[in-house]
Structure 1
Amino acid sequence: MKVGLGLPISEPAALLEWGRLADEGPFSTLGLLDRLVYDNPEPMVALAVLAGATSRIRLQTEVLLAPLREPALLAKQCATLDRMSGGRFTLGIGLGTRRDDYEAVGADVHRRGARLEEMMGAMRRLWSGEPHGEGIGPIGPKPARRGGPEVLFGAFSPAGIRRTARMGDGFLCAAHLADAESLFRSTEAEWQAQGRSGRPRLVAQFNAALGPDHLIKEARDRLYDYYSGPRYMNLPDGFAEGAVASITTSDQIRDTATRMGDIGADEVMFYCWASDVTQVDRFAEALSSA
């Protein structure tokens, strides 16, 4: 099973070093989250910079809040990043859980699911080379992957899982360890119900930090800050508390990877919330000693 590394968001300039070290290690993917009303780097810009600093590792948004963006421009950005990285881009896409991100761009938070589906339909058509509309030609460049980059949907709800099966290439699970198996099985069942061939790609995501106590405390403090405030919508019960607890030992890293492999995950992403770049080597060492 593949193991990816989610990047910290507190020091954007340091991400180049993270990327170079991860590219030399055992990791399959670099992931970067998306928020608007928060002190984090914009993921499409940051991943484009990381594409130039790496040669092997995949680049993934996790998840991009698509309804905040305009679909034609986003389709062009995704195709450009996919093409220029040699097909190493995966679009992890979703709705997010904060009202203020939508309010900042004047987007209707109540239509975000419908907006996401409209956008995906439009982007798939553009990636296939179809004209944008009457009197408006195609929008290039062609992505490296025929039909567009791989698309994973992040979701918790039955509606989100149905959307994954209809429109995606796979499912990005950011739920707790205990919930991952049921969400995977629901995704597979809905995939079959939609008449899709093959199987969805299944990716699990967990927050983690390794190292001395001060690095673990830093990571937990950053998670508390990230999940603080009353403006979250539709998070599963206990999600924030479990996310802040996170994974903090090499044994937990190995156990989580093994358990996810046992329930059918194709990849597990460990998101680092401590900013010290030595985290890359610590995670690599934990994985190599399995």
Structure 2
Amino acid sequence: MTGLGAVFRPQLAPERLRSVARLADDTGLEELWLWEDCFREGGISAAAAALAWTERVKVGIGLLPVPLRNVALTAMEAATLHRMFPGRPVLALGHGVQDWMGQVGARAESPMTLLREHLDALRALLRGERVSVRGRYVRLDDVALDWPPAAPAPVIAGVTGPRSLRLSGEAADGTLLTASTPPDGVRAARRLVDEGRAAAGRTDPHQVVVYLLAATGPDAASRLRADLAAEGDAAVPDLGVAGDAGAVAEAVRRLADAGADTVVLQPTADEPDPEGFVRFVAEEVRPLVP
């Protein structure tokens, strides 16, 4: 079955999260995803609150920029969430927007090297291993978590470029793709991820999650066009969807057919009814998606 979720966009004030998260839980939505966009809302703090307010919905963070974090802190926070809310947190890590990283003095000379080192160390720490490493960016001396997750805690990489997608296949447990990824882009990403997996000799499952920009309601088409234009994607064919539940479900199915395991519906930045959007996804779109 194709997984389905929705995004709580950080254009909304943090105090709006509680009602959206509770509605997602009450309506049976499978996943609610949060963003850590500079300089809006913290991913870990928002996820912890959403998990505490709910009982069953998975809460994803897409994504945590690794230049902002020491890997030991990432591991401590991830493990804490997994211990308190087993099976429900989903953490994605990535390079971060380089301009934003530059604004805070954290821009890495080699984002690829940093991401690889961070992923390798983080996954080892979450497995309960004792880690010593002296990399270009990640340096740990005999570090182990006192409270590692009691069950496996997959780590997803949010990446876009070919080299980063291969890296995700090698060093992550899943891949998160942006809403700028049409079905053909999902197919291409799958191929690159699989190349990385083959190079690393990996045969374990690898989940592909993709955002889908979606709008519904009387002004859906104009809001979708405005969002695509703002992201520079107005000329990209087969990107985003505006319409009723049937139209949105068909767009979800196209991404699933292209290789997406989970599709997360991303409302437009000016979505007038975030709670209504979550209800629409859970109650109208979900029954139409196999």
TM-score by length of 2: 0.83
> Do the aligned residues in 1 keep the contact of 2:184 with 2:258 (CA within 8 Å)?
no
SS at match of 1:110: coil
Equivalent in 276, 279, 286 of residue 278 of structure 1: 276
Equivalent in 135, 141, 145 of residue 139 of structure 1: 145
- Unpaired runs of 5+ in structure 1? 228-237
Matched residue count = 272
Distance 2:225 2:27 in 1: 25
* Residues 86 and 153 (structure 1), Cα distance of their counterparts in 2 relative to 1, 3 Å cut: same
Distance 1:29 1:151 in 2: 16
Identity of paired residues, percent?
A: 27
Please show how residues 98-247 of structure 1 align to structure 2 within 5 Å: 98-99=98-99, 101-131=100-130, 133=132, 137-146=143-152, 149-174=153-178, 175-213=181-219, 227=231, 239=233, 242=236, 246-247=240-241
Give the Å deviation of 1:267.
0.9
The CA RMSD over aligned residues, in Å, is 2.6
- Which residue is 1:234 aligned to? none
Segment drifting more, 80-89 vs 268-277: 268-277
Segment drifting more, 137-146 vs 161-170: 137-146
* Residues 218 and 249 (structure 1), Cα distance of their counterparts in 2 relative to 1, 3 Å cut: closer
* Residues 163 and 132 (structure 1), Cα distance of their counterparts in 2 relative to 1, 3 Å cut: same
- Unpaired runs of 5+ in structure 2? 133-139
Structure 2 letter corresponding to 1:34: E
Give the Å deviation of 1:21.
1.0
Distance 2:23 2:227 in 1: 23
Deviations 1:224-255 (A, max 9, x none): 66x4xxxxxxxxxx547659x73221233111
SS at match of 2:217: coil
> Do the aligned residues in 2 keep the contact of 1:81 with 1:89 (CA within 8 Å)?
yes
Give the Å deviation of 1:163.
1.0
**Structure 1 residue runs of 4+, over 3 Å off?**
130-137, 215-225, 238-243
Give the Å deviation of 1:177.
3.1
- Which residue is 1:18 aligned to? 20
* Residues 278 and 131 (structure 1), Cα distance of their counterparts in 2 relative to 1, 3 Å cut: same
